[in-house]
Amino acid sequence: MCTVCGCGAHQTVANEDADHKDPVHTPAVGFVIQTADAVTHTHAHAPLRQGVRRVQVEQDILGLNNQYADKNRAEFAQRQLFVLNMVSSPGSGKTSLLTETLKQLTSQHNLAVIEGDQQTTNDAERIRQTGVPAVQVNTGKGCHLDAHMIGHALQQLPALQDGMLFIENVGNLVCPAGFDLGERHKVVILSVTEGEDKPLKYPDMFHAADLMILNKTDLLPYVDFDVQRCIEYARRIHPEIEVLQLSARTGEGMEQWIDWLLKNQKGVTGSENTNSVRVASHV
């Protein structure tokens, strides 16, 4: 049985009606039972039948996920981890961006990756080839990672302290937007082969993300992708969203991304290092 929540089994692979609006319903802490005899309702409900009662619940449906997310956040803080939740559609280049990022940071930083996919351990294997530990979470039929899965995956990384943890979410521009994992930032990756109107088509994700990375910029000469329009669309959804343009394949623009990481991890992780000092000097 796991020590995170007491559940029996999990899927981490270690190193491998509109008329119901009356003022009688007031939000309650916990719940209140109203029996058919003592009902105070005088409104649009059909009359209660004998033997039937009402139970007020007033629970946020994502409340449990959010509790696990808070627990993760506390553990991230205690371990001094800067944690990013990387989200995108499938094929945007998340894993390639990560492997290139890890190669640049691994000599000076403690790093780890949690990989989410419906099936296979392919991505975790690609990450491990860089020498960075990776935990694969297979969601099976699930379309997103949730905070509970991350809590389990974190147990597989007991040595990770004072560094960066990248969570590569399931390739999906819809569902992962709604699930807080306890991360510091969501980072949305959009490749220029996807079409510049993605922020308007999938607004929830671009609203939830603090940074948008436009990847595969080396392909811009071959595609009809209007970078400025894409950024304008993203800022309609989320006026403060930061934007970086890069190509993980050619390395163009990678320096700004590394600088962004080093700048934003400050104050989260404990260690200062030559790189972050260098970055701080020109921010």
Residues that bind other proteins (CB under 8 A): 17-18, 20-21, 25, 31, 33, 48, 51-62, 64-65, 141-144, 146, 172, 174-175, 177-179, 200, 203-204, 207, 235-237, 239
Q: How far is the CB of 28 from other proteins (least distance, A)?
A: 10
State which residue, 233 or 257, has the beta carbon closest to other proteins.
Answer: 233
Strands 134-138 and 12-13: antiparallel
Q: How far is the CB of 249 from other proteins (least distance, A)?
A: 30
CA-wise closest residue to 220 among 187, 188, 253, 242: 253
Residue 80 CA to residue 75 CA, distance in Å, equals 8
Q: How far is the CB of 64 from other proteins (least distance, A)?
A: 7
Q: Write out the DSSP string of 66-126.
A: HHHHHHHHHHHHHTTEEEEEEEE-TTSSHHHHHHHHHHHHTTTSEEEEEEEESS-SHHHHH
Q: How far is the CB of 228 from other proteins (least distance, A)?
A: 15
CA-wise closest residue to 191 among 283, 125, 76, 95: 95
State which residue, 26 or 274, has the beta carbon closest to other proteins.
Answer: 26
State which residue, 57 or 159, has the beta carbon closest to other proteins.
Answer: 57
Residue 93: left (phi > 0), alpha (psi -120 to 50), or beta? left
State which residue, 82 or 233, has the beta carbon closest to other proteins.
Answer: 233
Q: How far is the CB of 207 from other proteins (least distance, A)?
A: 6
State which residue, 59 or 273, has the beta carbon closest to other proteins.
Answer: 59
